[in-house]
Structure 1
Amino acid sequence: DDTRMVPNFCVRSALFGMIQRGQRKVVDKEPIAAIHGLQIRHTGWQLDQADLDVFAHALSLASAQTAGALVRFAAKGFLTGIHRSYGKTNREWLKDSLRRLANSVVEIHLEAAGSARTQSLSYTGPLLDEFIHNQAEHSYFLKCHPEMARLVDAGWTQVPWLQHVQLKTDLAKWLHGFYASHRTPTPEKVDTLRHLCGSNCHRLSDYRGKLRIALEELVYGGFLRAWHIDGEDKVHVFRLPQSSRTVTQ
């Protein structure tokens, strides 16, 4: 498919953040940086942008089935869907990622703007309700919690998928999802973006350098037409016309 439906709570927060190799850790009810109106706490192994690729594709598979049903799939087809090669290393990585998602518990509270009034939605539970690997049959099963559909319905973005998975850096992928989730992106301070993406850069100047590289990657990848940082340290981005679609209720 050209796009994947990704819940806005995934791309407007640091739930799937910036984790340096070898520094992933277990957290317990950790508050997650997010936009105004969205509150998240996370218990489990920290998640990164590669885990978001897996979660988005899992939601895509589950959406074709009855809500709450077990979805059977093959590792080769799943890895192809997230544009990864079918080898032992990636098969083991996929199982680890699915386990992280199934063992992660999130507490999410969001204010969803409806046609008449603002509606409050809450969810506490795993990102994936169940993950089963049948070693003997080389088959995989997963299940999404039916209540997750309410969060998706409250706001989602059709992310240009091939463009997304071909980006090289986690920061570029996070920015891609964040800006795709806004019909008209508004200028954001560099420090605000550092906070929202979950960057571990302590020096703002270091993050600003990485941000410039990631924004150039989005230009090269055909997502942005141009960008600049103004005198108030606000980032302005100008997207190219594309098929991404954002729905917020």
Structure 2
Amino acid sequence: MKKLNDLLARIPEMQARAKQRAEREPLPGKPLPKNVVQLPLWPEPVRAVPNGFLRSALFGAIRKGRRRFVKGEQLAALDGIEIHYTGERLDQGDLDVYESVLHAVRLQELGSQCRVTSYALLKLMGKTDTGKNRATLLTRIERLRANAIRMKQGRYSFIGGLVDEAYKDEETQEWVIVLNPKLRALYGADQFTQIEWTVRHELDGKPLAQWLHGFYASHAKPFPMKVETLLRLCGSESELRRYRQTLGDALDAVAEASAAHGEGFSYEIRGDLVHVEKRASGPQRRHLAKKASKPRKPRA
């Protein structure tokens, strides 16, 4: 009887562990045939984003209000990434929507019509289905459609819009969204990052903290960065003095949200340099191990 009671007492714990394992597994379903262009099949709890989007000012940490319209402007980005952008400036809220669109599209062929309701997209973003949120979603999808980028990341370049087509079926109330198949080139090996969605969602309303979380998530082993460099890369239009004051608060928010969801993140600002330490994700640990195993070339 005691064994039975002990087993019954452990059922909630066993169910919780099973749920955690299930959430970490990729969604059911097999990749499409090899001749079909498809995004990688990442697990449900994460959102996969090309590193060029996370290591640049494309989706900036910009203040609310009227957006600047730019034409062919080269955006700040880390070495090895080059982005020229035409359109209204994009922010972290736009990235939330785009991540949700990518998440919905990943199970089907790129270039085909993805039908998804406003309710489903808002649910993916952790938003309630209200008239205000639907109106904001419409505005952001329009902004994602009405742009053009020329981007070089690694060996490949991409020229096109972030969204090829977007329209709404008024009968079914579904969005019909089409993405350019050439986007697949930005998802090569070691060219994209799986962002922990629970951490990003907890930072909702804190654009600089969201940008910093994505930026550092894209690095397996972050290197010290100048405060001025981070200001330029995040696309903020704030003055350097004011930015220094908000940077610490934003990094604190990232550290707290990361700790709350089991991610390791700590930082220290020494003079003009920001030092960050984090626990690498599974794929990043494999990348570091692979990099360490490569024989080093002798110095000349």
Return the TM-score normalized by structure 2.
0.75
Distance 1:206 1:81, change over 3 A: same
Q: Does 1:77 align with 2:114?
A: no
Instruction: Please show how residues 54-203 of structure 1 align to structure 2 within 5 Å.
Output: 54-110=97-153, 112=154, 119=155, 121-153=156-188, 155-167=191-203, 168-202=205-239
Tell me if the contact between 1:57 and 1:81 (Cα under 8 Å) persists in the aligned partners. Answer: yes
Q: Structure 2: where are the runs of 5+ without partners?
A: 1-43, 289-300
SS at match of 2:193: strand
- Distance in 2 (alpha carbons) for counterparts of 1:139 and 1:128: 16
Q: Give the root-mean-square deviation of aligned CA atoms.
A: 1.8
Percent identity for Structure 1 against Structure 2: 35
Q: What do the CA deviations read for 1:43-92 (whole angstroms, capped 9, x no partner)?
A: 11110001111111111211100121110011111101011111001101
Normalized per residue, the structure richer in strand is: 1
**Residues in 2 aligned to 1:96 and 1:36: alpha-carbon distance in whole angstroms:** 32
Tell me, yes or no, if the aligned pair for 2:220 and 2:280 is still in contact at 8 Å.
no
> SS at 2:86's partner residue?
strand
Structure with the larger helix share = 2
CA contact (8 A) 1:3 1:244 kept: no
Q: Where does structure 1 differ by over 4 angstroms across 4 or more consecutive aligned residues?
A: 240-248
Q: For 1:98 and 1:13, locate their aligned partners in 2 and report how far apart those are by CA, in whole Å.
A: 21
Structure 1 gaps of 5+ residues are 113-118
Distance 2:265 2:92 in 1: 23
Q: How many residues align?
A: 238
Equivalent pair of 2:54/2:215 in contact (CA under 8 Å): yes
User: Is the contact made by 2:220 and 2:281 (CA closer than 8 Å) also made in structure 1?
Assistant: no
Alpha-carbon distance in 1 for matches of 2:60, 2:265:
25
User: Residues 243, 141 of structure 1: CA spacing in aligned structure 2 closer, same or farther, 3 A cutoff?
Assistant: farther
Which of 223, 234, 245 is the equivalent residue of 2:273?
234
CA change 1:245–1:65 in 2 (3 A) is farther
Q: Which amino acid aligns with 1:153?
A: G
TM-score, normalisation: structure 1: 0.90
Matched-pair contact (CA < 8 Å) for 2:193–2:218: yes
Classify 1:19/1:82 alpha carbon distance in 2 versus 1 (closer, same or farther; 3 Å): same
The residue that corresponds to 2:14 in the other structure is none
Cα distance in 2 for partners of 1:188, 1:35 equals 11
| One-letter code aligned to 2:149 | V
Structure with the greater relative contact order (CA < 8 A, sep ≥ 6): 1 or 2?
A: 1
Contact 1:158–1:245 (Cα < 8 Å) also in 2: no
Instruction: Judge conservation of contact 1:224–1:237 (CA < 8 Å) in 2.
Output: no
Instruction: Name which of 226, 230, 242 aligns with 1:206.
Output: 242
